[in-house]
Amino acid sequence: MTEREFTIHEKMRQLKKEVSAIKRHIRHIEAERTRGSPQPTTNQPTSQHSAYGTSPEWLERERTRLRARLDELRLQWKQLDQERIDAAMERMRRLGHISE
């Protein structure tokens, strides 16, 4: 593999790590939404980050934001994959495995 291919593969690995982290976060949010947060009693915090978790509205906004980020990352992945293919084709041309 060429240095260009190694660089592209490293970018793809980093992208995959970010996607995995986002998917874990989404699963956590969906579990939180399914389970639901208990209602706070009087004299207890009522902010979106209360002692009992987060509001359903915030959870939904966060889930939507994360899904949008996944869409962005999917596009980046497709671009990197095309760059990877182009780099591999260039390497094969240089080695004489394919003609132009």
CA distance 79 to 15: 12
Residue 46 has a pLDDT of 47
Please report the beta strands in 5-98, taking only residues with DSSP state E, as ranges in sequence order: 49-50, 53-54
Residue 81 has a pLDDT of 98
Question: For the chain, what are the domain ranges?
Answer: 1-15+22-33+53-100
Residue 48 has pLDDT above 90, yes or no: no
Residue 53 has a pLDDT of 57
Residue 45 has a pLDDT of 45
Higher pLDDT, 46 or 3: 3
In one-letter notation, the amino acid at residue 63 is R
User: Alpha-carbon dihedral of residues 40, 67, 7, 83, nearest 10 degrees?
Assistant: 180
Residue 35 has a pLDDT of 78
Q: Give the H or E element holding residue 87.
A: helix 56-95
- For the stretch 29-44, pLDDT in tens is 988 888 765 444 444 4
Give the tokens for residue 2.
């060429």
